[in-house]
């Protein structure tokens, strides 16, 4: 019975995420990606603390993939210097995460999480009326 309950909970979680993505505007999609990358980094931190290297590596790989998608979504023509700066920051985050993975470095995971938090805060601080007009990403 527990396995069945867990499967229902997992299905609900997937449905909830899918609904969030389907209902999201472009600004919200970026916010969801930032939250997903942060969640993966927190999972990597916990896995490292529990000495679960396989899960740590998987979580870091997923975070790098999400950050790669964020980087790939930048509109350099419309975003100009801001897009270039974000791209450099995303590249730095991937390097940080790669080093954290190679050296089991919790400090680098923490730095990456902090930087993503700053990006997320800035992204969510964009006024509502400016979110869809001329978005950088």
What CATH number should be reported for the domain holding residue 95? 1.20.120.340
Tell me if 9 is assigned to some domain.
no
Show the domain range for 38: 26-127
Residue 135: predicted pLDDT: 44
Residue 57: predicted pLDDT: 98
Tell me if 135 is assigned to some domain.
no
CB-based contacts of 109, cutoff 8 Å, min separation 6: 41, 44, 45, 48, 60, 97, 100
Domain count along the chain: 1
Residue 16: predicted pLDDT: 47
User: What does the alpha-carbon distance between residue 22 and residue 76 come to, in Å, rounded to a whole number?
Assistant: 26
Tell me if 104 is assigned to some domain.
yes
Tell me if 3 is assigned to some domain.
no
Residue 91: predicted pLDDT: 98
Ranges of the chain with pLDDT below 50: 1-2, 12, 15-17, 134-137
Tell me if 4 is assigned to some domain.
no
């Amino acid at each position: 019975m527990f396995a069945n309950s867990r499967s229902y909970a997992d299905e609900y979680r997937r449905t909830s995420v899918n609904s969030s993505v389907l209902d999201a505007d472009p600004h919200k999609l970026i916010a969801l990606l930032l939250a997903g990358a942060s969640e993966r980094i927190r999972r990597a931190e916990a896995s490292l603390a529990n000495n679960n290297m396989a899960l740590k590596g998987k979580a870091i790989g997923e975070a790098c993939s999400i950050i790669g998608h964020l980087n790939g979504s930048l509109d350099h023509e419309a975003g100009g210097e801001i897009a270039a700066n974000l791209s450099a920051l995303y590249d730095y985050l991937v390097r940080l995460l790669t080093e954290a993975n190679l050296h089991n470095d919790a400090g680098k995971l923490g730095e990456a999480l902090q930087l993503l938090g700053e990006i997320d805060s800035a992204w969510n601080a964009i006024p509502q009326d400016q979110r869809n007009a001329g978005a950088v990403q």
